[in-house]
Structure 1
């Protein structure tokens, strides 16, 4: 959500250019030799003022009952102003030069947005919540023009603290924010059932976390900029597992790969392939130690049996080229 929120809530502190949509004052009735005109004139002006007031009230209602706002309220309910404010004055709607509109409370001392209020932008984006020093501060809800929603803590027009972000595709993030980005501990859920729980850093999954995919796969371990990187364990739906080092979402470094039938490889990986020294173990107790290149056995290998026997065999890129010899 980062840059979108900041652009929606950029500083609009120049209140001198505000054009307040106030009801036009009724002018004094001028004397006229025609009594009927004198009698009718105040009614005409009152009706004109009422029409202006009625039009502005309709605009106010339309702004508050926009489709995006209704969608947000269906998901989260009406915004809850949990803290009462005192000593503020109410104006509105107030139109800004950029065609955005503010409805709510103002500071009587600084004539800036302060307390409870709603700001609506021309693209349909809307912030409802608390204000301080003409910026979103405290609890608030931002509905983006594209339908994305953030509700939670704000500091100087940026998401900071704890909050919930709901994407239009159904993805939901609940957790900590800093400087308009996911930062700290959080939980992210996708419409297909996948979810991530763990650490975020400046908008990225980074540090320790747990990721569960819709197909039943799962990973517990380290992340770097949204990638599996560091040490971690991956479980496949067919019960295979890998525990070891990762880089850029690939097995890379030393690790242990286990199959559901009891087979096991312990050794080095490069770019998801066995590469370097390693050993392969079978359920019957056999152990093969050797070299792998690009996922295939290559060179000399020693096979040890459960009864203590050992044999030497040679391989060429996955193909056995000599018969086993006793050691």
Structure 2
């Protein structure tokens, strides 16, 4: 007998051999399975007197390892055990309340990462982190098929950063406190799944919240597809205090006390509302539609630029203006003046007003074509009809100018972007961002800017109705835009 055998033989004298046994306890419990050293050890079945059954692994008289525990009401757990407790990973099914949990356990409690289903349909659930049977940490709570919260939790309460979708398809992403929106966040009304390459117009608020209400500084987009929005202060869900209001045609109201409890504060000393007579505002239908009738907002800038480009030499320019006044002096008394930006004092007001009227009339003549073109390029890459109001993006605007061969006339896309960005009132955030929204009123300004660059006369017009900018715009539309949009380039 070698040394190895000599060392193993004595130890076997002190080790009781494993065996199977049936043990009946005085309290009515029953064990059937493997035993070792007179203890339940290995695979076995333990039956309590009340009908509860455990099938699985034992170690030193304790449930330890993999096993299945079944209660008499058909509730059961299958997974890991340690020290007679659910510990590790496992599935728990509560047949009485039609609930189930699958995930991690610690000393008999849900602890770690796990998913609980609160109904048999699996449409009411929580998937995330647990701490001693409590939702705590990061997780997703599905309340119904149309409503879900995903984010941080603190003792069953939404706390921290998270995303919420309501059954009416409203959406919020931001900070939470005590279960309600508080801090910085973005709220979008009536969201939907957009599987197209068109950008939809949305009603959205992005800013500060307090106890579930808009409170502090924020941006409210009115969802009119024309770029109407308000940036400023809010108080208890209403616009209140300093702010900037941009209408659906680019008209801007700015004041240190623009709104008072949700209504325009016309008593404020510094608010400019001279062109806002057409505002239609109804506090009861927020968020919140209004309209401003004046369609010529901002066109004075184009006229000013066109006239400035006539000639850079002041003496020649003044002589041409004097000649224009002489040939049209009989018509001055019938022209209406309106509020305007500051312009060169040598340019007669009547010339500006006549150019504005002529340009406005030209735009009205092409209005249906302009709207059709705008919508066409908003939906440029869509093969199916959409059911929302789209917004043009700069990438598709570039495509339109490319289709119209503007680059062949010596004007590049970069130059077009730079021309548009020169006027801060046109609100171009990033002049060369291909995905920046281009609202309809910005689209019109872009067209006029290009027409001015390509076709505006460098001399003053003759007797009325000859014009500088309106003629340039009509020529641009007839020669370039209308023919060009019918022959789309690329695939």
Fold shared, TM-score > 0.5 on shorter chain: yes
Partner of 1:294: 236
Query: Is the counterpart of residue 307 in structure 1 residue 250 in structure 2?
Result: yes
Deviation (angstroms), 1:308: 5.8
> Which residue does 1:322 correspond to in 2?
266
Structure 1 Cα separation of the partners of residues 228 and 17 of structure 2: 82
1:261-300, Cα deviation, whole Å (9 max, x unpaired): 6111111112211122222122332232333333233334
What's the offset of the Cα at 1:130?
A: 1.1
Aligned to 1:75: none
Pairs within 5 Å for 1:123-134: 123-134=50-61
State whether residues 299 and 314 of structure 1, in contact with CA within 8 Å, keep that contact through their aligned partners in structure 2.
yes
Contact 1:102 1:117 in 2 (8 A): no
Q: Considering fraction of residues, name the structure with more strand.
A: 1
Partner SS state of residue 258, structure 1: strand
Distance 2:232 2:141 in 1: 34
Query: CA offset at residue 243 of structure 1?
Result: 0.6
Give the structure 1 partner of residue 214 of structure 2. 274
Distance 2:62 2:94 in 1: 24
CA distance in 2, matches of 1:317, 1:214: 36
Match of 1:248 in 2: 178
What TM-score does the superposition give when structure 1 sets the normalisation length? 0.65
**1:212-249 deviation digits (Å, cap 9, x = unpaired):** 23241122222222332211111223332111011232
- Choose from 179, 187, 203 the match for 1:263: 203
1:120 to 47, 51, 61: 47
Q: Does 1:138 align with 2:82?
A: no
Unaligned runs of 5+ in 2: 1-15, 191-200, 274-491
Cα distance, 1:145–1:298 mapped onto 2, change above 3 Å: farther
1:4 corresponds to which residue?
none
For residue 298 of structure 2, what is the aligned residue in structure 1?
Answer: none
Q: Quick one: distance in 1 between partners of 2:76 and 2:25?
A: 23
Query: For residues 73-109 of structure 1, what are the alpha-carbon distances to aligned partners after superposition, in whole Å with 9 as ceiling and x for unaligned?
Result: xxxxxxxxxxxxx95333334114xx24122235342
> 1:164 and 2:87 equivalent?
no
Find the counterpart in structure 2 of residue 237 from structure 1. Answer: 167
1:314 CA drift (Å): 4.3
Residues 112-131 of structure 1: CA distance to partner in whole angstroms, max 9, x if unpaired?
A: 22122222334333222111
- TM-score norm. by structure 2 comes to 0.45
Match of 2:134 in 1: 204
- Find the aligned partners of 1:255 and 1:323 in 2 and give their Cα distance: 32
Shift of residue 211 of structure 1?
2.5
Distance 1:304 1:323, change over 3 A: farther
- How many residues get paired? 239
CA RMSD of aligned residues (A): 2.6
Q: Which moved more, 1:152-161 or 1:232-241?
A: 232-241
Deviation at residue 181 of structure 1 after TM alignment: 1.6
Which portions of structure 1, spanning 4 or more consecutive aligned residues, are displaced by more than 6 angstroms?
A: none
Unaligned runs of 5+ in 1: 1-85
Contact 1:289 1:302 in 2 (8 A): yes
Determine the structure 2 residue equivalent to 1:179. Answer: 107
Would you say 1:221 and 2:151 are equivalent positions? yes
CA–CA distance in 2 between the matches of 1:308 and 1:276? 24
